[in-house]
Amino acid sequence: MRQLVVATKNKKKLSEIKDILKGTNLKLLSLDAYKDLPQVVENGKTFQENSIKKAVTLARFTGQLCLGEDSGLCVDVLGGAPGIYSARFSGRDKSDIKNNLKLLKLLKDVPAVERKAHYVCAVALADKRGLIGVVEGNCSGLIAFEPGGSAGFGYDPLFYIPKYKKTFAQLGEKIKHKMSHRYHALKKAKRIIEKYIENHKSS
């Protein structure tokens, strides 16, 4: 069974990726499987740039097929913020709760009709020879006025889907994993992985 190294130590994110990539006959490993990893500075200007840096750097180090992923929340009325800074939106002592509280504070007086937002996920694949491909997925919604639900992570308690009248954190994995930004990106990445495996059967 071929290995796929996922450039993350986030157990919830790894679990989500495993669920979406079911059926690819891959053994997924996180960065916890390796020691003395090279540091990847996420200083790209886009989600795609950051995902490529992760995938290429770690593929060179591990010699394995690697998946680099970068995702975040873009709020229209904030000019696309927090964007690529989503994970560290609240500063050095960042946390999901602090990030959510900062976002709610910034949107305190913004009416529902102006709280449009979308999640973005970029997924890059690389092996020891370099970049194989990069894809992107999106999911649109609104920012709720208060957190709701306990599933998911990041901004999921605030990311409201009008169709279901629930946040991502209230929807649960079964529905979220069939409509999220990560689902759309990984669905495209899955096709690249399958083609790669087919072309490297003997390697």
Question: How far, rounded to the nearest angstrom, does the alpha carbon of residue 38 sit from its chain's CA centroid?
Answer: 21
What is the identity of the amino acid at 128? K
Beta carbons of 59 and 37 less than 8 angstroms apart: no
Q: For residue 162, which phi and psi values (nearest 5 degrees)?
A: -55, -35
Q: Which of 19, 70, 76, 156 is catalytic?
A: 70
Among this protein's residues, is 19 annotated catalytic?
A: no
Spatial separation of the C-alpha atoms in residues 6 and 14, rounded to whole Å: 7
For residue 79, with 0-12 CB atoms within 10 Å meaning exposed, 13-18 middle and 19 or more buried, which class applies? Answer: exposed
User: Any residues with CB less than 8 A from the CB of 197 and at least 6 apart, and which?
Assistant: 2, 24, 25
The residues assigned a catalytic role are: 70
